[in-house]
Chain A
Amino acid sequence: MSDSQAVVPTAAHEEIHSPGLLHHFATEEQQRDASNLGMWIFLATEVMFFGGLFCAYLIYRHWYFGDFGAASKSINALLGGVNTAVLICSSLTVVLAIWAAQTARRGMMLAMLALTMLFGLMFLGVKGVEYKDKFDEHHVPGATFSFEKVPIPSHSDQYANPQHAQIFFALYFIMTGLHALHMVVGLGIFTWLFWMAWKGRFTPEYHTPLEIGGLYWHFVDIVWIYLFPLLYLIDRHP
């Protein structure tokens, strides 16, 4: 973190460097690269985290092809599409916030950070609407689950097996729920980033927390980019 005091060479402290440079790094660029690498390694673990769920989804989709198609048709693809667009816009505002930090535009940086959070909240709001719809239609797995007499797409003479459809909805809620949890964490991170930005901690020379928080946010966007077609858009054609 930068302070405003200059470092004076003393017996204990021989080199002159920016106060923000931690002593175990040789240069600020190396320090930045290390932070970047650390976040990417964390994102690698997150890829594995979501990857396991995607794998489970793909296996069950293979086994229960028609039932999954029927279940997927009942979720609102338009809302899913809107949410995809919202997250794409939020990723844009993240990179614009970083650009604003790089070019010392404080007002724009704060506005872009606030917009990012607003888009995040919109995403969660739309999710809430979707979840409520599923609750009302008795598509939440558990004692109240019901999926009777729903035709399989392209085989309208056959009905979907409710037990198999229940697995689709279990995966739907687990995957989108885990994703939404990541959004909430992201909103927390960006609240902190906004506060730091407000206090003037970011300069063109130092805005690493913004870059790292941005990487996390983009990752959450990428997960949704895959969730949307796999959950919402299977077997939609007439």
Chain B
Amino acid sequence: MHDHAKSSPLKTYFTVWGALLVGTYLTYKAALIDLGPFNPVVALGIATTKALLVALFFMHLKNASERLLKLVVASTSFFLMILLFLTLTDYMSRPWTITS
């Protein structure tokens, strides 16, 4: 962050707000194009970018000085990734489903 941004957080807030709205529009438009297996990649990529913008700038994580706070946030993401990633690799590597 440049020093001048500290004295005009408004500029940052409005820029992030604009970026979030653009991201929403892009997600919507990208869903209408056939990107094959990359549709979910693009959708989740844009969603994660938006979530990071909200977390870093609106929730003031970017300027947080407390290491303990950063540890809590990082470990939350880490455990969520374990939940989703490990569970999905399990299910997606099985050739059977619950009905067949």
Contact = CB atoms under 8 A, between A and B. Distances in A.
Main secondary structure of the interface of A (DSSP, over half): helix
B69 A91 contact: no
A226 B51 contact: yes
B46 A40 contact: no
A91 B38 CA distance: 29
Interface in B54-72: 54-55, 58-60, 64, 66, 68-69, 72
Interface in A124-180: none
Given A51-B80, A215-B59, A226 B47 contact: yes
B32 interface: yes
Interface residues of B, number: 47
B64 to A, nearest CB: 8
A37 B69 contact: yes
A63 interface: yes
Interface residues of A, number: 47
A233 interface: yes
A206 to B, nearest CB: 16
A122 interface: no
A52 B43 contact: no
Nearest to B28: A81
A225 B54 contact: yes
Main secondary structure of the interface of B (DSSP, over half): helix
B72 A40 contact: yes
Contacts of B20: 88, 91
Interface in B5-51: 9-10, 13-14, 17, 20-21, 24, 27-28, 31-35, 39-40, 43-44, 46-47, 50-51
Contact of B44 (A77, A95, A229): A229
B54 A221 contact: yes
A229 B47 contact: yes
Interface of A: 33, 36-37, 40-41, 43-44, 47-48, 51-52, 54-55, 58-59, 62-63, 77, 81, 84-85, 88-89, 91-92, 94-96, 99, 211, 214-215, 218-219, 221-222, 225-226, 228-230, 233-238
Given A37-B66, A55-B87, A96-B10, 14 more contacts: A47-B76, A48-B83, A58-B87, A58-B88, A85-B21, A91-B17, A91-B20, A96-B13, A218-B54, A225-B47, A228-B47, A233-B43, A236-B31, A238-B32
